[in-house]
Amino acid sequence: MLKFEEQKQIESVNGALALRPEIEIIVDEIQQRGFDGIFFIGIGGTWASGMQTEVYMRGRSSIPVYVENGAEFITTGNKRFTKDSIVIFSSVTGSTEEMVKAIEKARETGAKVFGFIDKPDAPLVKLCDWCISYPMNEQLKFYMVANRLMFNNGEFPEYHQYNAQMEAHLARALVEVEKEADQWAAGFAKDKYEYFKARPDMPHYFVGGGNQWGATYSYAMCYWEEQLWIRTKSITSAEFFHGMLEVIDAETPVTLFMGEDEQRPLAERVKGFLPKVCKNYTVIDTKDYELKGISREFRGSVSHLVMHAVNNRVDAHMEEEFCHPMVIRRYYRQFDY
């Protein structure tokens, strides 16, 4: 399999899950101190991960949790963000301009900052009250924070059972998803190459809701647009029916991301609609994957990770089919703007 290092990927996920005691100490301290709001601040992909965490907690928790876009935070600001607020953020390099400014502004307000910064020597590390440096697995780290917050708040009684399952099975389950998806992904990438060779201007439409929305938005933008230079439009399953549906015809390429959280019915509605007007749609449904050892009631909380695993395979094959190394950038960080 292309770009697939099974053992390394298992270790990466298990290493992230092993951060739990460290995360718990920090979250417990935050909750013991008290706060008026928890703000996940991000930009681009990290903003999308914040959105996934917020929607995960929205229906489950009375804890005041917000998502802020870093660039909006440094311009519009937020009057409800105070010295008693907590910032949680993630950054690979710790150097993204908007994030550095946002964290500086948060500190000036007197708020406390909990950062996940992959690069342990990034200057941004020094601006954190708490910092954990471990590579990748951003969404997993955020959900571990969310789970502990909810457990401490009496909203997640299955916490220990949940963690036991994830720690025993998640890493293996995700590599199995990749293995299962690989052959399908190879065919999908081939089809896409043929399609876009004939219609290079066409955007590919990605639709998804709930914790798939962050996946949908960031997959379309950070992978296909940024890394593959293919046009996309992303839309939530809910909003699809309020305008965007009108531009779908028989040949329009649409991919629907279906997860297993509370918003699944919204994706099901899209799934029911698409075949009536389109022949060129694809449904990626996390339900099609076994996830051995993970109980049904917990599957929704990892649907976005399952989708990410499927898309890892799509990326590997897209990169090859399109002869487009995903590391190259036309503009991003190539010159001043």
- Where in 182-241 is the site for its own copies (CB under 8 A)? 199, 201-203, 209-210, 218, 221-222, 225-227, 229-233, 235-239, 241
At closest approach, how far in Å is the CB of 190 from its own copies?
A: 20
Site for its own copies, residues 312 to 331, rule: CB under 8 A? 329-331
Q: State yes or no: residue 115 binds its own copies (CB under 8 A).
A: no
Q: Could you tell me the two tokens for 237?
A: 């399953």
Smaller CB separation from its own copies, 150 or 310: 150
Residues 6+ apart with CB under 8 A from 189: 314, 317, 318, 320, 321, 322
Which residue type, as a one-letter code, is found at position 16?
A: A
DSSP 139-166: HHHHHHHHHHHHHHTT--TTHHHHHHHI
Site for its own copies, residues 116 to 175, rule: CB under 8 A? 155
Is residue 223 within 8 Å of 315, Cβ to Cβ?
yes
Smaller CB separation from its own copies, 172 or 324: 324
Smaller CB separation from its own copies, 34 or 243: 243
At closest approach, how far in Å is the CB of 187 from its own copies?
A: 23
Quote the CA–CA distance of 268 and 285 in Å, as a whole number.
10
Q: State yes or no: residue 245 binds its own copies (CB under 8 A).
A: yes
Per-residue interface string for the shown chain with its own copies, residues 268-287, x marking contact by CB under 8 A: -x--xx--xx----------
Q: Is 192 helix (H, G, I), strand (E, B) or coil?
A: helix
Q: State yes or no: residue 247 binds its own copies (CB under 8 A).
A: yes
Determine which helix (DSSP H) or strand (DSSP E) holds 87, and give its type and residue range: strand 85-91
Q: Could you say which of 52, 86, 91, 98 contacts its own copies (CB under 8 A)?
A: 98
Could you tell me which residues are beta bridge partners of residue 258?
Answer: 285
At closest approach, how far in Å is the CB of 133 from its own copies?
A: 22
Is residue 113 within 8 Å of 83, Cβ to Cβ?
no
At closest approach, how far in Å is the CB of 333 from its own copies?
A: 10
Q: Tell me the pairing of strands 281-285 and 254-258.
A: parallel
Per the listing, tokens 């930009």 go with 43
Q: Could you say which of 12, 69, 91, 165 contacts its own copies (CB under 8 A)?
A: 69
Is residue 254 within 8 Å of 282, Cβ to Cβ?
yes
Is residue 293 within 8 Å of 165, Cβ to Cβ?
yes
Smaller CB separation from its own copies, 205 or 289: 205
Quote the CA–CA distance of 202 and 105 in Å, as a whole number.
40
Is residue 124 within 8 Å of 99, Cβ to Cβ?
yes
Q: Could you say which of 22, 33, 76, 194 contacts its own copies (CB under 8 A)?
A: 76
Q: State yes or no: residue 243 binds its own copies (CB under 8 A).
A: yes
Smaller CB separation from its own copies, 292 or 330: 330
Q: State yes or no: residue 64 binds its own copies (CB under 8 A).
A: yes
Q: Is 206 helix (H, G, I), strand (E, B) or coil?
A: strand
Residues 6+ apart with CB under 8 A from 88: 38, 39, 40, 41, 114, 115, 116, 142, 145
Site for its own copies, residues 12 to 51, rule: CB under 8 A? 43-45, 47
Stretch of residues binding its own copies (CB under 8 A), selected from 8-16, 267-275, 291-299, 307-315: 267-275
At closest approach, how far in Å is the CB of 99 from its own copies?
A: 11
At closest approach, how far in Å is the CB of 233 from its own copies?
A: 5
Q: State yes or no: residue 244 binds its own copies (CB under 8 A).
A: yes
